[in-house]
Structure 1
């Protein structure tokens, strides 16, 4: 990830990488400026992509799904 292109071509993104975390050091900017609950409700309703379960306590989203969501929201 670089400053000009914060999204890697192939990867998994955790929730805080998608919605950002201003309290982190350094702060993590949001790819999609939305709250956690709103994002998770959107996932539940089918508006946003479903996550992938990587482990018992690890959930992430495919970067391809988030990239297409950003393009769709921008259109």
Structure 2
């Protein structure tokens, strides 16, 4: 599935699998980026589930699109 096939909701949360369809990095690189503060941290949604705020992912996309790096 291409990144253009993935659409973010207006508000809410998305799971990591959906984020990785948009931001072309692997899980290990993503988690390292979260640890270093380059990528947004997840939010616990339940005991076993985490998600990412859509607003944070959109901000990351804007930063990457502007060529500022993460």
Scaled by the length of structure 2, the TM-score of the pair is: 0.83
Structure number with greater Rg is 1
Larger helix share, 1 or 2: 2
What is the root-mean-square deviation in Å for CA atoms of aligned residues? 1.6
- Runs of 4 or more off by more than 3 Å in structure 1? none
Q: Which residue does 1:24 correspond to in 2?
A: none
Aligned residues, how many? 63
The answer for unaligned runs of 5 or more in structure 2 is: none
Aligned to 2:61: 70
Uncovered stretches (5+) of structure 1, i.e. residues with no partner: 20-29
